[in-house]
Chain A
Amino acid sequence: MPRVLLRQLVRAPKAQRAPRRSEKGYYRHDSLPDDAARSGILTDDRRRDLMQLYGWRIKADYHDDPVEFEEADRAAELARRLVEGLLE
């Protein structure tokens, strides 16, 4: 998960911030796109970018099917766009 996203989530005004945490204490990855959008950190389009990236990450690391080259290319593109949007 991009550190810049987590940093912004931590700095979000408390009233807006209600990220869900896992039992281990970190921000849950599956609900993070919604939480970040609700906090005003991500636009709706970037929220969907993060959802899509999470799906590819799960496929790459936890599924027995491989991520395909085209998916990896697209993931790199979306990740770049997401980070650029956070740094603006």
Chain B
Amino acid sequence: MMKREHVPIVVSGLIGGRPVRWAPTERLVGDYDGRERTLEIFNADVPEQRPILEAVDRERLRLEKAAGGPLVLVFHSVKQSKTRHQEFLTFFESLFPVIEALPAPALVPWCPDEPGSRTDDPTPQQTPFPPKCPLRDGDEK
């Protein structure tokens, strides 16, 4: 069974390896429903946010079970991620070798517009950790 601490990594795996974390309480002000279940998703520009939400939503039952209730998703654009969260992005990158060494979970890579990468694909790929999405036209290298 998935544990709460696995949720960010599993979600990251569903959305092409984008950095994901539980929102640190020091970054939140005030109280709201779902505060303890707020996931921050980085490197997600507005046009990508809806497909990302849909990819996460398709797995929501097991994610919500692990999280203890409905997830609240807060997105950060590529620019905002770079300018305000570079430290976390670097830390997340450093986790990749550790994650890749773990026993293969049944994660399905997801990249926009890439055939066969959706979680509802009848023949999902099984990878130790999803590779990063290939760069598309207009992406920064």
Contacts and interface: CB of A to CB of B under 8 A. Distances in A.
Interface of A: 22, 28-31, 33-34, 48, 51-52, 54-55, 58-59, 61-65, 68, 70-71, 74
B30 A68 contact: no
A49 B36 CA distance: 21
Nearest to B77: A68
Interface in B45-103: 45-46, 49-50, 53-54, 57, 69-70, 72-77, 80, 84
A55 B39 CA distance: 10
A63 B28 contact: yes
Contacts of A74: 46, 49
A66 to B, nearest CB: 8
Contacts of A65: 27, 74, 76, 80, 84
14 contacts: A29-B34, A30-B32, A30-B70, A31-B70, A51-B53, A54-B72, A55-B53, A58-B72, A62-B28, A63-B74, A64-B27, A68-B77, A71-B46, A74-B46
